Structure 1
Amino acid sequence: MAATCATGMEAYDPNPENATRKFNQHVHLALKKSSEEIRGLVDGDNGDDGGNSTGRRILRGKHKKYKGPCMATNPIDACWRCRDNWAENRKKLANCVVGFGHKTEGGKDGDYYVVTDDSDDDVLNPKPGTLRWAMIRDEPLWIIFARDMHIKLSHELIMQSKKTIDGRGANVHIAYGAGITIQFVQDVIIHGIHVHHILPSKGAVIRDSMDHYGQRTMGDGDGINIFGSTNIWLDHISMSECQDGLIDAIQGSTAITISNCHFTHHNDVTVTFNHFGKELIQRMPRCRLGFFHVVNNDYTHWKMYALGGSMHPTIISQGNRFVAPEDNDAKEVTNRNYAPESEWSKWIWRSEGDLLLNGARFRTSGPLVSPHYDFTKMEMIDAKPATFVGKLTKFAGALECKKGSPC
């Protein structure tokens, strides 16, 4: 616990604006480099004119697949996608994270481990070949899958530090059982899987490392629970219908990037190049204390509000597209909790270059100028960044990747 706290302090950035500036610079450079391609997508016939287009993702099953050439439409994807040999150099992915979680390396320094068994029958002494067996190893591991799998976790999946779950090349679902717990660890990457229909799990004696096991209480039903952990990157995950939260990051967790994810059918979701889709109600994210950079996300549905906060958080919303619901009582993007207006009016909540559609309203607050909030033109996203949101989030969610072909 003490070691975890020390690591958390190392990962903590006392000047979070620096990470924001670096992130915006990555986006600016990526957009500048591919300006002709971007212009074609924004002005072309892709059904993405700043409105509410639903045909933007190359997800399995429910959505019409994009059939054109491979396109890496944001700086994270441009780092690794659209290469025939991506499967021969999987660990290149670890060099691609930006934002607050930019130091995350996952299992980059470890061996590959191939999951060959989709069972989860023994949480005290997991079988070799299972996902659980790999996650409790002490050493770094880059975990991949031998084939398509539907894994029903009998109890929460607990892990050690320096792990990567890489679902590329297989159709991997964690579903209809318990969720994933990232607790008091560092350096975790989860990429390219589906997490859905997660249910509360009963308490049990569960092994959480090679030399330790203990009694765990009942799981809440979170899809992914991040608790007291640092340097975490969640990328290209499709998530829906979890009993509690889709993603919860609590108890001093810091240095986290959540990118290229697709969220649907839920109440609480916790933020770049993500698409927040159908049947979401509120808290996308809900922010408590801290500094939150919400950039280039696509909010096409909500039922109560999109961004919420309490206890004096700072929220910088840049280049997001907010499409309000038809309900006139739910047009407001923001919601402040547990504070009178005399208090929350001092919180710094900024909307910069956001696209507000169908009557969406963003209520800003706080002083007009922050002493540390000074971006140059190079560090900022382009003047009308929200017009690119459809492109930047076009391939949010788990991708369909095949070895030997661009992903």
Structure 2
Amino acid sequence: MSGLVVFLCLVFFSTGNPIDDCWRCDSNWEANRKMLADCGAGFGRNAVGGRDGELYIVKDSNDDPENPVPGTLRHAVIQEVPLWIIFDHDMEINLKEELVMSSYKTIDGRGFNIQISDGPCICIYNVSNIIIHNIYIHDCVPGGNAVVRDSPQHSGLRGKSDGDGISVFGARDIWIDHCTLASCYDGLIDVVFGSTAITISNNYMFHHNEVMLLGHSDDYLPDKNMQITIAFNFFGDGLVQRMPRHGYFHILNNIYTSWEMYAIGGSANPTINSQGNVTKHEITEEGEDWKQWNWRSEGDLLLNGAFFTTSGEETPASYMKASSMVARPAYVIISSPPTSGALYCQKDKPC
């Protein structure tokens, strides 16, 4: 049945966004929640999350970092088996410490207004196969120097956290989709310490300075093979800068509005394949090393003074490693902007 639903979506409701075309027209999405795991695209397309596990229903918004209570989000994410985590009512969850996750988990907020805010937020640390979907994450602050449980059998003292909305550290096969993120102490989404195979898609981000840190240090060589897809996102009001460092980045069909410094920037020789965006590229580092970096703009629509400076040698091998799916022409997303951020999904209706 799920294959038929996918086919009907592609035939009758195709937007060119392969993720949304895969599942959003299914009026029975609530019963078919796990179908989402088969709709991934880009470098994070193999993230299955908790597809092969049971549903876990979060009923309690309270948080005990050291001894999580069953029915809470923290209790769900530390379990050692795959879980597809859903909610039974609108919730604003104020975490007392970082939410440390174990592998093979999906946090699926569809159907309710689920917010994680006004405390430390999500930490994806040395794990794999995580899907974060349809959550509003905002006003995150540092935490740490506290005992936090990271499995049913273990708790330990964690150092101070940065105050990111979502921190991805030494992880792989990660997919962050249809979330809304704003106003965090540090980054909205930081991907560091050799994390790779990641897709950041269909998110709405606003009111923040350093939006995404992709690679934590110019000198950290394990980041050089990082592969990240950034697709179909809406970068809204009050954003200042975004900075890929090492690695290979496929940046496609995003809309950037009201940027202040730059939309796509870089340091430490990243390969950036920018396709079908409305964007600006600006080099802020001194010197001329950047002229050797492989940066390509293809089909980007540059409006209101935006510009993109290509550089390096456009070698097929380099851009093959920085390509993850087919981009739509930029004029298409201008005429039909993406529906980004957390969605209002109602039972028995297409999402």
Contact kept in structure 2, 1:262 and 1:397, CA below 8 Å: yes
User: Does 2:308 match 1:366?
Assistant: no
Q: Distance in 2 between matches of 1:371 and 1:229?
A: 25
State the Cα distance separating 1:246 from its structure 2 match.
0.2
Match of 1:111 in 2: 54
Letter matched to residue 119 of structure 1: N
Match of 1:346 in 2: 292
1:162 to 92, 95, 104: 104
Describe how 1:392-403 pairs up with structure 2 within 5 A. Answer: 393-403=337-347
1:335 to 280, 283, 288: 283
1:293 to 233, 250, 258: 250
Match of 1:90 in 2: 33
State the secondary structure of the residue aligned to 1:119: coil
Describe how 1:222-301 pairs up with structure 2 within 5 A. Answer: 222-270=164-212, 271-283=230-242, 286-301=243-258
State the secondary structure of the residue aligned to 1:365: coil
Letter matched to residue 76 of structure 1: I
Q: Distance in 1 between matches of 2:349 and 2:261?
A: 42
Contact kept in structure 1, 2:9 and 2:23, CA below 8 Å: no
Q: Which has the higher contact order (CA 8 A, sep 6+)?
A: 1
Contact kept in structure 1, 2:9 and 2:25, CA below 8 Å: no
Alignment identity in percent? Answer: 51
- After superposition, what is the alpha-carbon deviation per residue over 1:343-370, rounded to whole angstroms, capped at 9, x for unaligned? 2111011110000001111111012444
When residues 31 and 114 of structure 1 are mapped into structure 2, their CA distance, relative to the original with a 3 A threshold, is closer
State the Cα distance separating 1:334 from its structure 2 match.
2.4
Q: Distance in 2 between matches of 1:393 and 1:189?
A: 24
**Which of these two proteins has the greater Rg computed from alpha carbons?**
1
State the secondary structure of the residue aligned to 1:155: coil
Contact kept in structure 2, 1:336 and 1:344, CA below 8 Å: no
Match of 1:8 in 2: none
State the secondary structure of the residue aligned to 2:139: strand
Q: Distance in 1 between matches of 2:186 and 2:202?
A: 21
Contact kept in structure 2, 1:296 and 1:392, CA below 8 Å: no
* Over 3 Å off, 4+ runs: 29-34, 368-375, 379-382, 390-393
Match of 2:141 in 1: 199
Letter matched to residue 281 of structure 1: V
State the Cα distance separating 1:75 from its structure 2 match.
1.0
Alignment RMSD (CA, Å): 2.2
TM-score of the superposed pair, with normalisation by structure 1 = 0.76
| Count of residues in correspondence between the two structures | 325
Unpaired segments ≥5 residues, structure 2: 1-6, 213-229
State the secondary structure of the residue aligned to 1:150: strand
Q: Distance in 1 between matches of 2:10 and 2:309?
A: 31
When residues 127 and 392 of structure 1 are mapped into structure 2, their CA distance, relative to the original with a 3 A threshold, is farther
Describe how 1:12-31 pairs up with structure 2 within 5 A. Answer: none
Letter matched to residue 198 of structure 2: I
Q: Distance in 1 between matches of 2:50 and 2:10?
A: 32
Contact kept in structure 2, 1:307 and 1:335, CA below 8 Å: no
Q: Distance in 1 between matches of 2:274 and 2:77?
A: 35
Match of 1:318 in 2: 275
Q: Distance in 2 between matches of 1:223 and 1:202?
A: 15
State the Cα distance separating 1:306 from its structure 2 match.
1.2
Letter matched to residue 292 of structure 1: F
Q: Distance in 2 between matches of 1:374 and 1:179?
A: 34
State the Cα distance separating 1:234 from its structure 2 match.
0.2
State the Cα distance separating 1:226 from its structure 2 match.
0.2
When residues 363 and 33 of structure 1 are mapped into structure 2, their CA distance, relative to the original with a 3 A threshold, is farther
Q: Distance in 2 between matches of 1:293 and 1:373?
A: 9
Contact kept in structure 1, 2:252 and 2:276, CA below 8 Å: yes
State the secondary structure of the residue aligned to 1:269: strand
State the Cα distance separating 1:372 from its structure 2 match.
5.3
Q: Distance in 1 between matches of 2:335 and 2:56?
A: 34
State the Cα distance separating 1:219 from its structure 2 match.
1.7
Unpaired segments ≥5 residues, structure 1: 1-28, 38-70, 323-331
State the Cα distance separating 1:390 from its structure 2 match.
3.5
